[in-house]
Amino acid sequence: MLNSSEGYQDPGSSRTLAEEVNLEVLQSQGGSHVTQLMTSLSNFLPPDTMEDNLTLTLARNPGVDNSYRIFKIVFDVYVVVFLCIFGVSGNVVSILVLGRDRVVRRTTGFLLQNLAFTDIMYLISCIFFQTLNTINHNTDWLPSLKYHWPYMEPYVWAFASIAQTCTVWLVVVVTADRYVAICKPLHAPQYSTMSRMRKAVIIVWSISILYNVPRFFERGVRMKFNNITNLTEAETVRLPMRNNQYYVIIYKTVSYFILRLLVPLTSLAFFNTKLIQAIRESYRQRREMPHCDHSNQRREKYSLTLVVVVVVFITCETPDLVLRIWLSLHSFISSMYFPKKILKYVNVISNTFLAVNSCSNFVIYCFIGSRFRRILLEILGKKKPQKPRIVIGGVTTHTHTHTPTNAHTQTYRFSSSQWERNGEEMSILVSTANG
């Protein structure tokens, strides 16, 4: 997620990337004196490559690239608003459906609900750092926004980064939980419990907030007199900490790649590979034993759903990852090919892909999860609730349960091999009279 509110600026000069493009235009018109100036601006310092250094400030340079202005408005306003409305609605429905699903593993359902909530938080932040930011810098649709945006901007990027960090690590946690349940079933009763998953979610949120606290102190607001309007206006400026070379190298570059990219993506690649191998093995066993327990098919479906979620997540994160690596390499290797006019378009697309990721899980659940679709139709009143079913040795039986008012109710679950409380498969209601 690269900030689009400021131009890429060399700490040793006052010119942004937008101004460099203007200089390139002058140079193409024969300005020989511009060549030396362009050469002096060609070496960029490595720190300023993570969040707010690539995109042109078109509002301040309206003649630079009108096609880019239109492109940015189409994606950051129209496309992102549609994705946010659809994504927030879909994630709210996912939370409701997963809350009513009594077959899905409790820890898996709990983690997926938290992931949906985090996606909602990120999509809401997209409205600010993509849509409102673009409207403010590229249009005059909301004149009053220009007065309020400088006070909002220092906090918008921090909140968006908190939500994105939490999303990344919750995907890792839910994948790890599924890996333990499928690939290490003997360890599941010890490690994959509700109490541990609640603690894991609390830890993820706590670390995400603490890690992003410095972002709240990167920008501030100052008042500036506008000679054109004869008014005093507020503008966002970088605070000294944001311009500190060691801060940007250590925190915004090294720690970002380790905590937000390297470790989570490596973990997801490992867990996803193991889950795919387990699904293939289960398919092989089912082909050899066609009358095997139907509960295995249900486990395969849940695992397949999560595998697709992770694949989509990695796919949507890849453009942002590639862009950041390219920017970092260019900062250290100034002679490296660096197509600024192309990468600014890539920046917009990569941010849009992050929004797509946060609204895609609902679509995945609907396409792959037959039970998810059934519960959704029940909520919408399009389908009657099914009677409870018990699957034993591939034979399905329907049960009718009457619970006395003075009965003590307990829920037991069983797998194909043994009974266990709070396990993976189907619930059976057992009533015992008190006393």
Tell me the pLDDT tens digit for each residue of 129-147. Answer: 999 999 999 998 998 898 8
What is the Cα–Cα distance from 114 to 41, expressed in whole angstroms?
46
The residues pairing with 219 across neighbouring beta strands, listed in sequence order, are: 238
Please check whether residues 279 and 412 belong to one and the same domain. Answer: no
- 384 within a domain of the structure (yes/no): no
- 410 within a domain of the structure (yes/no): yes
Please check whether residues 411 and 306 belong to one and the same domain. Answer: no
Please check whether residues 103 and 172 belong to one and the same domain. Answer: yes
> What pLDDT was estimated at residue 382?
76
Using one digit for the tens of pLDDT, what is the confidence trace for 8-66?
Answer: 333 333 333 433 434 443 344 444 443 333 333 333 333 333 344 444 333 444 444 78
Residue 103, classed as helix, strand or coil, is: coil
Please check whether residues 416 and 300 belong to one and the same domain. Answer: no
What is the Cα–Cα distance from 69 to 59, expressed in whole angstroms?
9
- 383 within a domain of the structure (yes/no): no
> What pLDDT was estimated at residue 169?
96
Enclosing domain of residue 52: 17-378
Instruction: Give the chain's domain count.
Output: 2
Please check whether residues 424 and 325 belong to one and the same domain. Answer: no
- 202 within a domain of the structure (yes/no): yes
The closest of 237, 240, 239 to 223, measured between CA atoms, is 237
What is the Cα–Cα distance from 364 to 127, expressed in whole angstroms?
23
Joined together, the tokens standing for residue 92 give 């709210």
Asked if 331 and 42 count as a contact pair (C-beta separation under 8 A), the reply is no
> What pLDDT was estimated at residue 386?
65
Q: How far is CA 270 from CA 172, 243, 276, 316, 343, in A?
A: 10, 37, 10, 18, 31
- 123 within a domain of the structure (yes/no): yes
How many of the other CB atoms lie within 10 Å of CB of 329? 14
Asked if pLDDT for residue 267 goes beyond 70, the answer is yes
Q: How confident is the model at residue 198 (pLDDT cuts 50, 70, 90)?
A: very high
> What pLDDT was estimated at residue 73?
96
DSSP 141-163: S-TTHHHHHHHHHHHHHHHHHHH
Buried b (16+ CB within 10 A) or exposed e, 384-399: eeeeeeebeeeeeeee
